[in-house]
């Protein structure tokens, strides 16, 4: 049996040329007694392999749409540093790159100067030429490892600014689509579709910087599913995963319409921020989330259904805290106060929760 499989596998690449041989084997196998004879299994495996070969051979590469219109757009792509994979499109206008929220290309990394370097574009003979110029940065600007003051960029150049590395790339439509898809997969949790925590914190930091400038408030929500362990232990982790997915959906459907951003914090915990919302307004949104989760019937493919509830803690920038870490900590304090007081409820942070 092993020898036969070795021979068949060795000649599998011949594809359709093996069909007559396969037919002969099939006729002999059909005459064997019983349905579980080892040779029947060998034949079945080989038929599956042949089906894969035949399917592969029918692919017509000429039918694939390359998406390349011949037009390429200039981008800077972060290949090391915060917000890995983010693309910054370049235009014919001058653009300053730095850590300041007021520049055109903002990368919030402390190793960058507030205004680090400048990119400009000149059109010559119908072709765009991009020039990079350092604007007095502390740590310097580098292209392909060499420190520069001015440099005409070429496709594929790597630009080093502080600890961050960007790649200058000219991308056609298909390449742009590819980078966008990769970026989305890097930014989002696969189960819920919400942002991952790293991306969420980067977005929150930008929102906090904006609020510091304009004096606006931000509501922060921390959410935890009540009794998920019981669901997992009683009905299995597949239904537990569906619970997490559905709770994430309820959170997103209430947060996104008011300009909020939500993420999976980890396990059965979620986090969201609401720009421009006070603590009172954030509690109203949190109550809408809590109510929707409580009313949602969650089921699996076997027809098993459950209802769950959530607890949500709310904190407000800048009333409760002015730094991100403290803001998250206070929302977390409010969350666990809600869980201690009976679950399925929303509690807003107060100094009394920390003995203040």
End-to-end Cα distance, the chain: 78
The residue among 100, 321, 97 whose CA lies nearest residue 217 is 321
Q: What distance in Å separates the CA atoms of residue 313 and residue 330, rounded to the nearest whole number?
A: 8
- Cα–Cα distance list, 343 to 16, 189, 313, 334 (Å): 65, 26, 11, 12
Q: What is the DSSP letter of 195?
A: B
Q: What one-character DSSP code corresponds to residue 69?
A: -
Burial 115-137 (b: 16+ CB within 10 A, else e): bbbbbebeeeeeeeebebebeeb
Please report, in tens digits, the pLDDT of each residue of the chain (356 residues total): 444 444 444 444 444 444 445 455 555 544 544 444 455 445 544 454 444 433 333 333 333 344 445 689 999 999 999 888 899 999 878 999 999 988 999 998 999 999 999 999 988 887 889 999 999 999 999 999 999 999 999 999 999 999 999 999 999 999 989 888 888 888 999 999 999 999 999 999 999 989 998 999 999 999 999 999 999 999 999 999 999 999 999 999 999 999 999 999 999 999 999 999 999 999 999 999 999 999 999 999 889 999 999 999 999 999 999 999 999 999 999 999 999 999 999 999 999 998 86
pTM of the complete model: 0.69
Residue in the block written with tokens 């994430």: 248
Angle at which helices 38-57 and 19-30 pack, to 10 degrees?
A: 150
d(CA 294, CA 281): 20
Q: What is the pLDDT of residue 39?
A: 52
**Which H/E stretch holds residue 79?**
strand 73-80
Residue with tokens 């003979």: 125
Distances (CA, A) of 229 to 232, 240, 268, 312: 5, 8, 9, 18
H-type alpha helices, the chain: 2-10, 19-30, 38-57, 173-187, 197-214, 228-235, 237-255, 279-295, 324-340
CA distance 314 to 222: 7
Q: Please state, in angstroms and rounded to a whole number, the distance separating the CA atoms of residues 251 and 195.
A: 12
């Amino acid at each position: 049996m092993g020898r036969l499989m070795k021979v068949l596998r060795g000649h599998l690449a011949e594809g359709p040329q093996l069909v007559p041989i396969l037919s002969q084997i099939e006729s002999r196998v059909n005459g064997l007694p019983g349905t579980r004879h080892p040779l029947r299994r060998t034949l079945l495996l080989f038929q599956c392999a042949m089906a894969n070969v035949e399917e592969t051979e029918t692919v017509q590469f000429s039918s694939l749409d390359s998406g390349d219109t011949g037009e390429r757009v200039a981008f800077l792509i972060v290949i090391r540093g915060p917000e890995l994979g983010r693309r910054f499109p370049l235009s014919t206008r001058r653009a300053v790159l730095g850590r300041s929220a007021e520049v055109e290309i903002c990368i919030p990394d402390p190793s960058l100067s507030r205004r680090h370097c400048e990119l400009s574009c000149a059109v010559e003979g119908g072709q765009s030429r991009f020039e990079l110029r350092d604007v007095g940065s502390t740590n310097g600007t580098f292209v392909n490892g060499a420190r520069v003051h001015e440099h005409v960029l070429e496709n594929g150049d790597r630009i080093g600014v502080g600890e961050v590395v960007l790649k200058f790339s000219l991308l056609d439509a298909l390449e742009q689509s590819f980078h966008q898809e990769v970026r989305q997969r890097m930014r989002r949790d696969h189960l819920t579709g919400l942002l991952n925590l790293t991306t969420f914190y980067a977005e929150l930091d930008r929102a906090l910087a904006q609020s510091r400038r304009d004096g606006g408030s931000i509501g922060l929500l921390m959410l935890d599913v009540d009794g998920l362990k019981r669901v997992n232990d009683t009905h299995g982790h597949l239904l537990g995963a569906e619970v997490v997915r559905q709770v994430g959906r309820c959170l997103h459907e209430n947060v996104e319409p008011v300009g909020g951003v939500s993420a999976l914090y980890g396990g059965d915990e979620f986090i969201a921020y609401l720009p421009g919302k006070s603590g009172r307004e954030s509690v109203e949104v949190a109550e809408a989330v809590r109510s929707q989760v409580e009313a949602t019937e969650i089921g699996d493919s076997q027809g098993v259904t459950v209802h769950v509830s959530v607890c949500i803690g709310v904190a407000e920038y800048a009333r409760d805290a002015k730094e991100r870490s403290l803001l998250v900590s206070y929302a977390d304090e409010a969350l666990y106060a809600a869980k201690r007081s009976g679950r399925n409820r929303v509690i807003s942070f107060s100094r009394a929760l920390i003995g203040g």
